[in-house]
Amino acid sequence: MTGCGADESPLSPAELAERKMQFLFHLRSKGVTDRRVLEAMEKIDRGAFVRGIFAARAYEDMPLPIACGQTISQPSVVALMTQALDVHPRHKVLEIGTGSGYQAAILSQLARRVYTIDRFRKLVIAARALFEELDLTNITAITADGSHGLPEQAPFDRIILTAAAEDPPSPLLAQLRVGGVMVLPVGQSDTVQNLIRVTRTEEGFDYAELRQVRFVPLLEGLGNE
Ligand code: SAH
């Protein structure tokens, strides 16, 4: 990955400012109304998480390729998932699927502590470097198979998956605090998946379907990079 910060961007500062304004306007038009989520989306520059030839498209509402054959999610989906997760300042949050680190960075603005796991070491190392550069000190990025969760830090107030499983992995359900919320895409890969919200109650789990989405699959074991 080559360095490609704002100073190397092909966009002029005025164009960049205009695109960022349009970006936020577009999020609102997609139903992102939570003020804290919008503030986090404004503060965390998606341009920092998209490198190389795709950097100029960072403010477009589309997924973009990152290293290891993965993608940074569409920003309106990041915002809507974050809104559905309803993160509070005292929460401890677990994300499965670090990818570029963008979603974790957004969560870091809303939560006390964020743990994020990816099966590719290369992605975790790059995300860690970015978190340090951006001074996001409340994120811990870990290389592991996230379907087992992170038992040593459980229970979590909030859990978010940014890769699609056929069903919510049972270790993750077990690591959700009573009253806690998990947001995840479920369904077969390469078909339309459903974004669902699972709430843990004293008696069990409540499920709500939110919308259709398309994510890369949750895979077993570690990646080869
Ligand atoms: N949240 C990311 C986008 C995630 S793309 C962002 O903001 O950029 C989905 C990610 O899930 C990929 O990086 C993929 O490697 C990861 N992934 C898939 N299966 C996994 C598993 N079992 N454990 C941890 N990460 C996994």
Which residue of the set 12, 73, 108, 147 is catalytic?
73
- In the predicted model, is pLDDT for residue 179 greater than 50? yes
Chain-wide mean pLDDT for the chain? 93
The per-residue pLDDT for 53 is 84
DSSP β-bridge partners for residue 205? 200
Rounded Cα distance, 172 and 169, in Å:
6
User: Are the CB atoms for 98 and 104 separated by under 8 Å?
Assistant: yes
Residue 139, strand partner residues: 114
pLDDT band, very low/low/confident/very high, at 47 (cuts 50, 70, 90):
very high
Q: Tell me the C-alpha distance between 58 and 184, whole Å.
A: 23
Report the pLDDT averaged over residues 165-180: 97
Whole-angstrom Cα distance, residue 177 to residue 198? 12
- Taking only the tens place, the pLDDT of each residue in 23-44 is 999 999 999 999 999 999 999 9
Question: What residues does ligand 1 touch, defined as CB less than 6 Å away?
Answer: 70-73, 96-97, 99-100, 102-103, 117-120, 123, 145-147, 162-163, 216, 218-219, 223
- How confident is the model over 146-158, as a mean pLDDT? 98
pLDDT (tens digit per residue) in 55-99: 889 999 999 999 999 999 999 999 999 999 999 999 999 999 999
Percentage of the chain exceeding pLDDT 70: 96
Query: Helix axis angle, 75-85 relative to 13-29, nearest 10°?
Result: 50
Label residue 3 by pLDDT band (50, 70, 90): very low
CA of 104 to the centre of ligand 1 (A): 11
13-213, what's its fold? Rossmann fold (3.40.50)
Residues in Cβ contact with 8 at an 8 Å cutoff, skipping those fewer than 6 apart = 55
pLDDT exceeds cutoff 70 at 1: no
DSSP 164-200: BBSS--HHHHHTEEEEEEEEEEES-TTS-EEEEEEEE
Residue 51 burial by Cβ neighbours in a 10 Å radius (0-12, 13-18, 19+) = buried
- The residues spanned by each domain of the chain are 13-213
Total H helices, total E strands in the chain: 6, 9
